[in-house]
Structures are given as structure tokens and as C-alpha cells.
Amino acid sequence: MSPTFNPMKLHHRRCREARAQMSGLIDGELDQGSAAAVARHARWCPNCRRMLRNLRRTVGGLRELDDEPTPVDRPPA
């Protein structure tokens, strides 16, 4: 018996692959082809697009916190 084509399995596999590389995309660690593939998938897939948008917001917020002095770093008043 030959395997049947299942578009949902293919889509879920592509989602898993894209999500595994989203952090690398945001950090600029992916090669051009991989970055384009993740971005292309996120444009097409609403769930991955939402996940990438939320991850970008989270990473952006964390990077902003890095600029703020912590209570330990602040000089005494």
C-alpha cells in the first residue's frame, strides 16, 4: 500500500519547521534562503504569522529592557 498525499500533514510539518527557525530569523542568524522560506511561510500561514509577530514583539520588549538600569545598577538616592 502506497502512502497517500495528506496536505494537512505537509502543512503541519512546514509549520513546525518554520517555527523552529523563527528565533534565528529575528536574530539574523539564518542564511538568505532559509530566512526567505520562513518569511514566505509566515505570510501565507495565519497561525505562524501571528506567532512570528508575537515573538518579534516579545524579543523587542526584552531588548528594550536591556537598556533600562536594574534596581541594583541604579545609584543610591
Q: Where are the domains of the chain?
A: 9-67
Give the 3-state secondary structure of 13-72. HHHHHHHHHHHHHHHCCCCHHHHHHHHHHHHHCHHHHHHHHHHHHHHHHHHHHHHCCCCC
pLDDT tens by residue, the chain, 77 residues: 567 888 899 899 999 999 999 999 999 999 999 999 999 999 999 999 999 999 999 999 888 886 666 666 666 66
Q: What is the pTM assigned to this prediction?
A: 0.75
User: Tell me, what's the pLDDT at 77?
Assistant: 61
